[in-house]
């Protein structure tokens, strides 16, 4: 058991008979009335984010989770296949459990979040940034850099990302997997 004082980002709690990860929290002490904690909770089964308010000091059940290093191997009709980096055990994970699966590239390292007591897979987390090659984008006009205009670009994994006009087919770009945004062009 823990209280609202123990809240931190990434903490997994039991709430409404389901497992939720704390995405964001804020302690609020108004001038009138009791203190409370505003939270954004992400359901680990569905991926849906909800807002909830806890009164300060309320007890919650904390669930133990482990983050294990895996490497993405391939995709087949059973789902995505991953290999544990230390034991070389292979597991298959369905697509709905993977955040941003369109950025998965063969050989990429990920973290799989596992419920410590039941050994159930809760989610697959990609690294915050990935480097992918642009396979197709419309050519940009030379000298057209006065505005922050963006154009769609298709990456080697099939994902579409909005990029600046100077990015061309064959360029490698760094992508933020948390919000699907272009970060920078990578020099090779």
Closest of 129, 109, 102 to residue 186, by C-alpha? 129
Give the C-alpha separation, 55 to 41, whole Å.
15
Q: Where in the sequence of the chain do the CATH 2.30.30.30 domains occur?
A: 2-62
Second CATH level (architecture) for the domain 2-62 = Roll (2.30)
Q: Where in the sequence of the chain do the CATH 2.40.50.140 domains occur?
A: 65-125, 129-186
Give me the CATH code for the 65-125 domain, please.
2.40.50.140
Which pLDDT score, from 0 to 100, does residue 146 have? 62
Which pLDDT score, from 0 to 100, does residue 142 have? 65
Which pLDDT score, from 0 to 100, does residue 101 have? 87
Alpha carbons within 13 angstroms on the beta-carbon side of residue 117 total 4
Which pLDDT score, from 0 to 100, does residue 59 have? 92
Contact 11, 37 (CB under 8 A): no
- The segments of the chain whose pLDDT lies below 50 read none
| End-to-end C-alpha distance for the chain, whole angstroms | 50
Give the C-alpha separation, 71 to 85, whole Å.
6
Chosen CATH of 129-186 out of 3.40.50.300, 3.90.1150.10, 3.40.50.720, 2.40.50.140: 2.40.50.140
| Paired tokens of 153 | 């670009």
């Amino acid at each position: 058991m823990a209280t609202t004082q123990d809240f931190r980002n990434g903490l997994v709690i039991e709430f409404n008979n389901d497992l939720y990860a704390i995405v964001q929290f804020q302690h609020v002490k108004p001038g009138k009335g009791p203190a409370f904690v505003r939270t954004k909770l992400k359901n680990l089964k569905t991926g849906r984010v909800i807002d909830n308010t806890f009164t300060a000091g309320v007890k919650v059940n904390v669930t133990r989770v482990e983050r294990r290093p895996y490497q993405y191997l391939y995709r087949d009709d059973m789902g995505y296949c991953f290999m544990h980096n230390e034991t070389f055990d292979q597991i298959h994970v369905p697509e709905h459990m993977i955040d941003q699966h369109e950025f998965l590239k063969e050989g990429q390292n990920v973290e799989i979040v596992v419920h410590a007591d039941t050994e159930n897979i809760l989610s697959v987390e990609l690294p915050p940034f990935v480097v992918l090659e642009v396979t197709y984008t419309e050519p940009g006009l030379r000298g057209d850099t006065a505005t922050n205009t963006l154009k769609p670009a298709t990456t080697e994994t099939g994902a579409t990302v909005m990029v600046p006009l100077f990015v061309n087919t064959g360029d490698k770009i760094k992508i933020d997997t948390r919000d699907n945004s272009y970060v920078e062009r990578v020099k090779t």
